Homo-oligomer: A and B are copies of this chain.
């Protein structure tokens, strides 16, 4: 191991092996929960350098933690506190390798920032639809490794659905040249999807070929007050029926969540929030025109009012108004933070199960923890709720969390499991949920995952302990 640092310096240059300086940007997780300690941070500049780094670490028996923008929410990309793990940062590999307009694809390196790729696509006349709160800091490699979700999944899918091919350095330091602009390719087992979402536990994604989409001719947004979660689900069904794939956003927000926004961001204009227990933000992307989009939304909302799944609604009259509505939705996280700590859950359920799940779990928590406030909002179109639990008014949030978090998690996760849901919809497992996963995952599936991990990384050096635990 003593020889490893000089080897890494030889491979990447001295300036790209960091050890005798403040490494907290690489060692501390995004939410600031924990700070690990790395043997060093190595920043290779090419696929060949990544391969050489992996070979050197593997030969030395040193574990590696691949890292992109380090914006993950489950402590999957930071080192433990042993001082034995090498952080393998992909930040220097940030090139856009190829824009292929006629194929509607772009090939980028893993360290390319999501925001930059969005811009590159836009400049070429396309849409790259992945969109996340951290898009100014997160990288495509991290998005792929964690199969990131975001606000456009309803129409365009998760990150895996946007990827056609990968370049990967295996745990042995071999290069799999799997970049591909093909939309059909049935030549063997699906390694691409295996590496996507593998959280760095199987190898290192160094580049990817991604799908681009035509830009819509028009986008229009509407806000609907709905009398219940069931009504929101009914509105979703009606919207999909009438708008098809034109429906590119469907966000549900509970009154408590909107009330926090009203309290902490009084300058924002929140439509109709005091009139109904839930609000829904709908977005239509139209291939025809602004007028057509507007007419389609009006038609939808008239039908919804007639059916009774909407009690009142407004259609944004301009792009600026649309942005204001989205701004309300996106302010919920900050409003929560301003209100104080809460217990967060990134869950998904079959859409059909959500009304009963919410009724059941709301009642359970209200009974067990009187006065508790449910900050319930999320991507209803994907069945994905951020079902967060805020302490009762006039309570110390830190004490509340310390006392109740483990128990609340268990209540929520048990309910999620019994309704056919998942304990991690879009954030992944990392270290944060590695111990929890075995309680909620099918044991046969878990055993297969561990067999695959063992087959591809027999020395257990790629992000060990994350996702699948110590097995």
Contact = CB atoms under 8 A, between A and B. Distances in A.
A188 B449 CA distance: 7
Interface in A332-361: 348-353
A307 to B, nearest CB: 14
**Which residue, of A105, A185, A197, has the highest number of chain B Cβ atoms within 10 A?**
A185
A86 interface: no
Contacts of A123: none
A236 to B, nearest CB: 8
Interface of A is mostly: mixed
A259 interface: no
A153 B422 contact: no
Interface string A426-448: 11110000000100111011111
A103 B452 contact: no
Interface string A306-348: 0000000000000000000000000000000000000000001
Contacts of A70: none
Interface in A69-108: 100-105
B427 A186 contact: yes
**Which residue, of A191, A351, A445, has the highest number of chain B Cβ atoms within 10 A?**
A445
A191 B448 contact: yes
8 contacts: A180-B422, A184-B383, A184-B425, A185-B424, A190-B190, A193-B193, A451-B455, A452-B455
Interface of A: 100-105, 125, 146-147, 149, 153, 155, 158, 160-161, 170, 174-178, 180-191, 193-194, 196-198, 201-202, 213-214, 216, 233, 237, 240-246, 285, 287-288, 292, 296, 348-353, 379, 382-384, 420-429, 437, 440-442, 444-449, 451-456, 467-468
